[in-house]
Amino acid sequence: MSELRFDLIQGRWVIIATDRSRRPHDLRSVSQSVTEPSFCPFCPGQERRTPPEILAIGRPPNGAPNGPGWQIRVIPNKYPALSVEGDLERRGVGLFDRMRGVGAHEVVIETPEHEADLGTLPDEHLVRLLRVFRDRLADLYRDRRLKYVLIFKNQGAVAGATLAHPHSQIIATPIIPRIVAQELNQARQHFEAKERCLFCDVLNEELERDERIVLENPHFVVLAPYASRFPFELMILPRRHAAAMTAITDEELAALAGCLGEAARRLHRVLADPPYNLVFHTAPNTEAFLTKPGAWQTLPHDYHWHLEILPRLTQVAGFETGTDFYINPTAPEEATRFLREVEGAG
C-alpha cells in the first residue's frame, strides 16, 4: 500500500508508491548513453580545445600549462550559465526583480581516463578530486558578490550529461537556490525549537533504527533518506557537525572518498551503471554583499553540509511538476536491502 512520508529536511511530502514498485533489474532499462563527438575535448592532448585552465593537479613541474600530464583539470565552462564580469545591478522592473547574470561556471575534468567513473577511480584520486572541490569552494566564496556555490555531477544523458568523459561542474550564484533556502529554513526552525541540528537528529535517529543505513565509517554515513524522492536515492552525511564543506579535514577527505567510491560501486552493481546526479549542499557565503544583517547568526549550529546521490530511474512528469510531490516506487528500506547485499562484491 502506498504511503505519504514527510521530508523533514526539505519540508515537503513524498509518495512512496510501493504498489508501483519494480525490482532493480526492471529499473535498469533507462537509456543513459551519451552521444560521443568525433573527439573528446576533455581528453589529454585536446587542451587547446578548452578555455585556459583555472587549475591543474598532478602535472610535472616542467609540464606546460594547458598541456597534457595533468590528473585533474579545472576550466571555465565554454558556454557558461553565468559570467564573472560585472556588477549585480539588482533593481526592480515594475512588480518584478532582476539583476545581471553574474556568477561563475566551471568544469572539473576529474581524470584523464575517458572510460573511468567514480566507482573505478582509486580512493587516493578521489581524495585529490574532493580537495579540488573544497579549494574551489573556498576560493569562490572570496567573491562577495556570490551567495552560493553548487558542486554537482551529471552522470549519463538522462541525468543531463552531454559528454561522457568524467567531469563535474561548479556554478556560483548571487542568490541562494530555492531548494537550499528551504533546507536552511527547515534547519533554522528546528534549531530554534529544539536547540539541536536537524541533520544531526536525523543521523542519530537513522543510526539507532539501522533500517536505511547502507554503509558507514568513522567519519561518514551513507543512508537512504526516509522520504526518498527517487528509487535508490542516497545521502552522505558527515558524523562531525559542520555547516560548510570547507571545514573538512584531510582525514575526513580520505573517509569521504572511501564512502563515495563504494556507494558508486554498489549502485553500479545493483542497477548496472545508472544515470544519476551527485550534488553537494553546503552553507552559503556568509560574507556575501547585501546579505541581510543577522541572517546567519545560528548557521554554524543549525546547518550540516552533505552530499546527495539521485539516480534518474523514473521520470519527473506533470504531477511532480504541478505539485512538488515526488512519487517513488521503491521504498528506501527496500533499496537499502539491495545495496547492503552487494557488500564485498567484486
Q: Which three cell numbers stand for residue 67?
A: 598541456
What does the pLDDT read at residue 29? Answer: 47
Helix-then-strand count for the chain, H and E: 7, 15
The pTM (predicted TM-score) of the whole model is 0.93
| DSSP conformation class of 292 | P
What does the pLDDT read at residue 32? Answer: 55
State yes or no: pLDDT of 316 exceeds 50.
yes
Q: Please list the active-site residues.
A: 167
Give the mean pLDDT of the chain. 92
Rounded average pLDDT over 233-256: 98
Q: Which residue has the higher pLDDT, 173 or 20?
A: 173
Rounded average pLDDT over 280-300: 88
Would you tell me how many other CB atoms lie within 10 Å of the CB of residue 340?
12
Q: What are phi and psi of 142, to 5 degrees?
A: -75, -15
* β-bridge pairing 12-16 and 167-173: unpaired
Residues 6 or more apart in contact with residue 254 via CB below 8 angstroms: 123, 127
- 149 pLDDT band, cuts 50/70/90, is very high
CA distance 222 to 335: 12
Per-domain boundaries in the chain: 3-24+40-84+97-341
Residues 6 or more apart in contact with residue 338 via CB below 8 angstroms: 24, 232, 270
Residues 6 or more apart in contact with residue 336 via CB below 8 angstroms: 211, 212, 213, 214, 223, 224
Dump pLDDT digits (tens) for 154-180: 999 999 999 999 999 999 999 999 999
Cα–Cα nearest to 330, from 27, 7, 12: 27
Q: What are phi and psi of 249, to 5 degrees?
A: -90, 170
Would you tell me how many other CB atoms lie within 10 Å of the CB of residue 132?
22
CA distance 247 to 342: 32
Rounded average pLDDT over 207-213: 98
Rounded average pLDDT over 24-52: 78
CB 83 within 8 A of CB 145: no
Q: At what angle do helices 332-341 and 250-271 cross, to 10 degrees?
A: 100
CA distance 206 to 214: 11
What does the pLDDT read at residue 141? Answer: 96
CA distance 159 to 153: 9
CATH number of 3-24+40-84+97-341: 3.30.428.10
CA distance 218 to 245: 17
Rounded average pLDDT over 65-85: 94
What does the pLDDT read at residue 99? Answer: 86
